[in-house]
Amino acid sequence: MARLGIMEAAVRLGVSTDTIRRRVRKGELPAIRDNHGQWRLDLPDDAAPGVPMQLGESGLVPATLPPAHAATQDAYAGVADALRAQVADLQARLDRAEAREVKARALAEQQGRELTAAVARAAIAEGEARGAREAAAIEVRVVRELLAEARRPAWRRLLWWT
């Protein structure tokens, strides 16, 4: 036998503290007050949580469940099995979704690397094009100077100071 307080007895019996107090007042549960004025209940060691207890000839004993309650428990067991199956299905879906996410991230990283390389190649090509434009501009300037020189009269070309 365990001597417990009202809160511990309520947890052990699977009922509320108000139910324990009510049953003590009615005399259904044997209880005494300690030196501090707290109620102490003597419960058998085999009292399991959630199993209702009743006062029998030899003290508190587990209450027998009515047949309707057993049918309800069977229905609850069926619901629990259905919920377990649903949880397993949802877990499988989640695993598949996470696998798809990993693949998508890998693809995105690969495409990001490819895009970075393409941008680098474009920058190099742009630099080469800019260099080619500058070289072409220099060539155009040289050709214009030669053309201007060719257009000057021959006697001016011979006299360099003019």
Would you say residue 71 lies in a domain? yes
157 within some domain: no
CA atoms 104, 109, 112, 114: torsion sign: negative
87 and 112 part of one domain:
yes
**Domain membership of residue 84 as a residue range:** 65-152
What pLDDT is recorded for position 70?
63
Would you state the pLDDT for residue 69?
A: 63
For residue 55, the cross-strand partners are: 60
Could you report the per-residue pLDDT of 82-113, keeping only the tens digit for each? 999 999 999 999 999 999 999 999 999 999 99
Structure confidence at residue 27 as a pLDDT band (50, 70, 90): confident
Whether residue 112 lies inside any domain: the answer is yes
The verdict on 35 and 92 lying in the same domain is: no
Clarify whether residues 45 and 93 are in a common domain: no
Query: Domain for residue 158, yes or no?
Result: no
Q: Read off the pTM.
A: 0.39
